[in-house]
């Protein structure tokens, strides 16, 4: 069999590896949702306190303190729980990919090239690790937005629907721009593969490069610098599109 490792394949593997940890993920994510809703409720409590004729009453202060505690504790529990699960998934993913590489036929390994495999074992898995680290923050932010929109609905239905319309328009703009920056990041991936290839060539041929000044200049000035410049240009364009659409 041949080795086929892609972003979609990695996502499917992460979901498969996530199954044994669903209870902890559900527990941590639930606290993240509660933390986000508590933050939105906290804003509502502050607004009620500011516009109340009685001012800051003891029930209001107790509610404020309880919501602050729930928001902070929920964020901490969600972050710790998802970080633990994330690192377990990353460790299992590294072991699984390494085992597949060891079981693969020699012809498949030669076809994939070592620099591509190293790119998967380092860059791709690091991207998955970053996602698992930030997952709780995404959940908390989503719950906060939903809670805030629900509170806005109680304050002014007209403003609520205007906000929903602007959110929908922003989503369409982002989805349109996303197609462009995904193409740029695909180009970034190819340039990163080329960079890993040149790094491998340097380590494998270090002695020859030291002896040959013209080849050393060609490797650094053309191959390495060219790949690094392409990565910078493509990432800059993708980030520019992202912020313009955002």
For residues 118 and 26, the answer to whether their CB atoms sit within 8 Å is: no
Residue 13 is predicted with a pLDDT of 64
Query: To 5 degrees, how large is the angle CA 219–CA 214–CA 232?
Result: 25
Nearest in space to 185 (alpha carbons), one of 234, 147, 146, 138: 234
Give CA–CA dist 98/101, Å, rounded.
5
CA gyration radius, the chain: 25
Residue 88 is predicted with a pLDDT of 82
Residue 234 is predicted with a pLDDT of 76
For residues 37 and 98, the answer to whether their CB atoms sit within 8 Å is: no
Residue 15 is predicted with a pLDDT of 72
* pTM summary value: 0.60
Residue 219 is predicted with a pLDDT of 60
Query: To 5 degrees, how large is the angle CA 141–CA 25–CA 75?
Result: 40
Give CA–CA dist 196/218, Å, rounded.
16
Residue 104 is predicted with a pLDDT of 72
For residues 52 and 60, the answer to whether their CB atoms sit within 8 Å is: yes
Give CA–CA dist 19/99, Å, rounded.
20
Residue 4 is predicted with a pLDDT of 46
Alpha helix ranges (H) inside the chain: 7-18, 22-51, 58-103, 106-112, 114-119, 125-155, 157-204, 206-211, 213-218, 225-245
Give CA–CA dist 17/90, Å, rounded.
9
Residue 81: other Cβ atoms inside 10 A:
21
Residue 199: other Cβ atoms inside 10 A:
15
For residues 49 and 56, the answer to whether their CB atoms sit within 8 Å is: yes
**pLDDT per 10-residue tile (average), the chain, 246 residues:** 50 71 85 88 80 74 86 88 82 77 71 63 69 78 86 86 88 80 74 72 58 60 71 76 66
Give CA–CA dist 199/113, Å, rounded.
13
Residue 208 is predicted with a pLDDT of 55
Residue 202 is predicted with a pLDDT of 66
């Amino acid at each position: 069999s041949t080795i086929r490792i892609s972003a979609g394949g990695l996502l499917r593997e992460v979901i498969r590896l996530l199954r044994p940890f669903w209870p902890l993920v559900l527990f941590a994510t639930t606290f993240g949702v509660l933390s986000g809703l508590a933050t939105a409720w906290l804003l509502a409590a502050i607004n009620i306190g500011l516009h109340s004729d009685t001012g800051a009453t003891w029930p209001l202060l107790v509610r404020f303190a309880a919501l602050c505690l729930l928001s902070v504790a929920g964020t901490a529990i969600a972050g710790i729980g998802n970080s633990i699960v994330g690192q377990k998934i990353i460790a299992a993913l590294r072991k699984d990919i390494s085992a597949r590489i060891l079981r693969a036929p020699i012809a498949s390994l030669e076809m994939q090239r070592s620099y591509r495999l190293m790119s998967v074992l380092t860059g791709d898995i690091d991207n998955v690790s970053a996602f698992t680290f930030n997952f709780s923050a995404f959940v908390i932010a989503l719950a906060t937005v939903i809670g805030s929109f629900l509170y806005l609905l109680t304050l002014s239905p007209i403003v609520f629907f205007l906000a929903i319309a602007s959110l929908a328009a922003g989503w369409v703009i982002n989805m349109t721009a996303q197609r462009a920056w995904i193409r740029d990041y695909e180009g970034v991936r190819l340039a990163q593969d080329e960079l890993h290839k040149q790094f491998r060539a340097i380590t494998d041929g270090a002695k020859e490069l030291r002896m040959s000044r013209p080849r050393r200049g060609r490797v650094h000035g053309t191959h390495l610098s060219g790949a690094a410049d392409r990565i910078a240009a493509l990432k800059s364009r993708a980030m520019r599109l992202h912020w313009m659409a955002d």
